[in-house]
Homo-oligomer: A and B are copies of this chain.
Amino acid sequence: MKGLWLADRQLQLRRDLPIPEPIAGEARVRVLQAGICNTDLELLRGYYPYAGVLGHEFVGVVDRGPEHLIGQRVVGEINATCGQCRFCLSDNSTHCENRTVLGIVNRDGAFADYLCLPEKNLYLVPETVSTDAATFTEPLAAALEIQQQVQLHGGDRVLVIGDGKLGQLVAQTLALTGCDLLAVGRHSEKLANLEARGIRTGFADAVQDRTFDVSVECTGNPEGFAIALRALRPRSTLVLKSTYAGKLSIDASALVVDEITLVGSRCGPFPEALKLLAENKVDVSPLIQARYPLSEGLKAFAHAQRKGVLKVLLAMGDENAQQS
């Protein structure tokens, strides 16, 4: 089968990969569509020493596995867990110490014709949810994780920094909580997507210092972190939603003096994400900027790496793919 293979920071399109065979408890999925995420770009830059097929945002159809799943359209939780370690047993299975992670840690990913995941990781995609929308389930779940970690109260002043893929999903999900939301970024045309949904937006200079109850950093750069910190009133919360290449230099004394809480936030709940998509409460369509067939995966990556580009999709059925 075909697949985008990462080794030594080099990505290549391979056509010689064996179609994977699911082991007991796993299902095999024929991938329909997959999305390129910033984490993929960071893996390419060597953020984590992964080798194998890249990709973890996908929609596919089960072609091997339990009867009730065969032929069904599914998305998949990316952390494949052991079910037996202390984290799995304490309801923290996404932090399983023996986990593999689809396309990230020791498990071939979704930028291929087929992938395997444990059956328990798979979620049926409701009929009313398009394959395009479902491709965003994983990042949407990650956006929803914030609400699992931080208790938001109606009227709380919440700031989202970053108008990229993640920032836009975070802003859309937070807007549903009834908080007093401001989303800031650097690109009018991206912020316009949010404005169109009734979300107040602005550039960094719209952020009044020391006035927000919660800020969510979705840029992954130190400038974004600085805005997130200066925006906060004392005894408030900064959510770190992006990973950072290298170390981040922070004024830890400011955290102490203002008693700020910093919350690292990663993967989130798939069922809630699918529910939002089924209810049409989140609109992912403005995020899609290009489509490529898997056979043009290297071009797709080059596109995704361009500054300011939002979501680039890979379609596994070559005949249907086209660049939009």
- Taken together as a complex, chains A and B put the C-alpha atoms of A97 and B234 apart, in Å, by 9
Instruction: Give how many copies assemble into the complex.
Output: 2
Q: How large is the interface on A (under 10, 10 to 19, 20 to 34, 35 or more residues)?
A: 35 or more
Q: Does A248 contact B (CB under 8 A)?
A: yes
Q: Contact partner of A87 among B92, B233, B240, B262, CB < 8 A? A: B233
Q: In the bound complex, do residue B259 and residue A266 qualify as a contact, i.e. CB atoms below 8 Å apart? A: yes
Q: Which residues of B contact A258 (CB under 8 A)?
A: 95, 264
Which of A2-10, A119-127, A249-257 sits within the interface?
Answer: A249-257
Q: Does A210 contact B (CB under 8 A)?
A: yes
Per-position binary interface string of chain A over residues 140-157, scored 1 when its CB falls under 8 Å from any chain B CB and 0 otherwise: 000000000100000000
- Taken together as a complex, chains A and B put the C-alpha atoms of A140 and B263 apart, in Å, by 27
Q: Does A243 contact B (CB under 8 A)?
A: yes
Q: Which residues of B contact A210 (CB under 8 A)?
A: 97
Name A's interface SS: mixed
Q: Which residues of B contact A131 (CB under 8 A)?
A: none
- Taken together as a complex, chains A and B put the C-alpha atoms of A241 and B256 apart, in Å, by 7
Q: Contact partner of A265 among B47, B249, B250, B259, CB < 8 A? A: B259
* Docked complex: A264-295 residues within 8 A CB-CB of B: 264-266
Q: Does A247 contact B (CB under 8 A)?
A: yes
A contact residues vs B (CB 8 Å cutoff): 47, 86-87, 92, 95, 97, 149, 210, 225, 233-235, 240-245, 247-266
10 residue pairs of the A-B complex, CB under 8 angstroms, read A47-B253, A92-B235, A95-B258, A149-B261, A247-B252, A248-B251, A249-B250, A256-B264, A256-B265, A259-B263
